[in-house]
Structure 1
Amino acid sequence: MSKKIVENIILMQYHWEELEVADKALISKAKKALEHAYAPYSHFQVGAAVLLENGTFLTGNNQENASFPTGICAERVVLSYANANYPETRPLKIAIAAKAKNSRNHQTIFPCGICRQTIAEVEQKFKFPIKILLLCDNEEVLIAEGIDQLLPFKFSDFIAR
């Protein structure tokens, strides 16, 4: 007998003025980080910023390569740096901002599948959800309280440990 499986996804949408001071600071760091992205092929810049449990802010941006697909997304840059340099410090939040190189407006984007799975791995390591802040094109911000809201059927849910 077939059975319908339903997964509810909940994102909260906030206007800039409604955000906590720490969230505004994190998003501002992601916006600044995207300005230094290495994106000579796509001309699409992405910045990510992470707030660690110890109060440290880290940033990263996308890094493209002519030998496609060896580039790396901003989210994986900053989370890899966090794990390499602060392996025992839990990431609390990640903010993501993006825009076309010569545009003044930001574009709403969501992490790609590889980045979503990377966030899932970090959450699994620390057994704690990472708050995900996504800057939208109109200075609104979408917030997910963890990767389950963006990746409900992640790979790690189905592998034996």
Structure 2
Amino acid sequence: MKNIKKLEFHCELQAQSYQDLNPSEWELVQKALEARNRSHSPYSKFQVGAAVRLANQTIIQGANQENAAYPSGLCAERVALFAAGVQFPNMTFEALAVCVPDTSTNLPFPCGGCLQVMAEYEYKQQSGLELFLIYPAEELVFRAESTRHLMPFSFNESHLPE
């Protein structure tokens, strides 16, 4: 019998209240909360906001954008990341905050597509992207030091043939 290898994944995120955030973190959270107001979500009625802080301390906002042709929409995280990538192509992304509606009873975990995009930026910049997952119903923020904490087996260019 061949050697069987075991892969395990364990993720533990600590929550903290809004009051426990430092001023820079609170500013990023506020920008994500504010970005929800620019969501175009007439179909799901689920407004999501995101904000990415760059190494130069610029904050770029994003909000989900839906379309009647459902696959044509885009999540708030990717809107913010792609906008930041276009406006500041060589700048490191330090942190990304994501929030869901105040009435949401689900935690604000990004979808797999957004996690993959985050992982791509981490690979490109060779450093982690801190995540702030905002749960407004309880005024809590769940933190992850890197996308790898939520998606440890991401695909990147090192997997492609040369």
Match of 2:63 among 61, 72, 79: 61
Q: Using the alignment, how far apart are the partners of 1:32 and 1:18 within structure 2?
A: 19
The runs of 5 or more residues in structure 1 that have no matched partner are none
TM-score, L = length of structure 1? 0.91
1:2 & 1:127 partners in 2: Cα distance? 31
Q: Which structure has greater helix proportion?
A: 2
Could you say which residue in structure 1 is the equivalent of 2:126?
A: 127
1:152 is the counterpart of 2:152: yes
How far off is 1:6 after superposition?
1.6
Cα distance between partner residues in 1 of 2:115 and 2:6: 25
CA distance in 2, matches of 1:150, 1:61: 21
- Residue type of the partner of 2:16? Y
**Distance in 2, Cα, partners of 1:157 & 1:81:** 22
Q: Which residue of 2 aligns with 1:105?
A: 103
Counterpart CA distance in 1 for 2:155 and 2:112 is 11
What is the DSSP-based 3-state SS (H/G/I as helix, E as strand, rest coil) of the residue aligned with 1:28? helix
Indicate conservation of the 8 Å contact 1:106/1:135, yes or no: no
Alignment of 1:11-30 (within 5 A): 11-30=13-32
CA–CA distance in 2 between the matches of 1:2 and 1:157?
26
Q: Does the aligned pair in 2 maintain the 1:62–1:73 contact within 8 Å?
A: yes
Q: Which runs of 4+ in 1 moved over 3 A?
A: 104-107
Residue 87 of structure 2, aligned match among 73, 80, 85: 85
One-letter code of the match for 1:140? L
Q: Once the two structures are aligned, what percentage of the paired residues are identical?
A: 36
Tell me, yes or no, if structure 1 residue 142 matches structure 2 residue 136. Answer: no
Over 3 Å counting, the alpha-carbon distance change for 1:120 and 1:83 in structure 2 is: same
1:42 is displaced (CA, Å) by: 0.4
- Give the SS at the match of 1:45: coil
For each residue in 1:22-55, what CA deviation from the matched residue of structure 2 results, as whole angstroms up to 9, or x when unmatched? 1111011100100110000000000000111001
Give the paired residue count.
157
Instruction: Name the residue aligned to 1:7.
Output: 9
Higher relative contact order (CA 8 A, sep 6+): 1
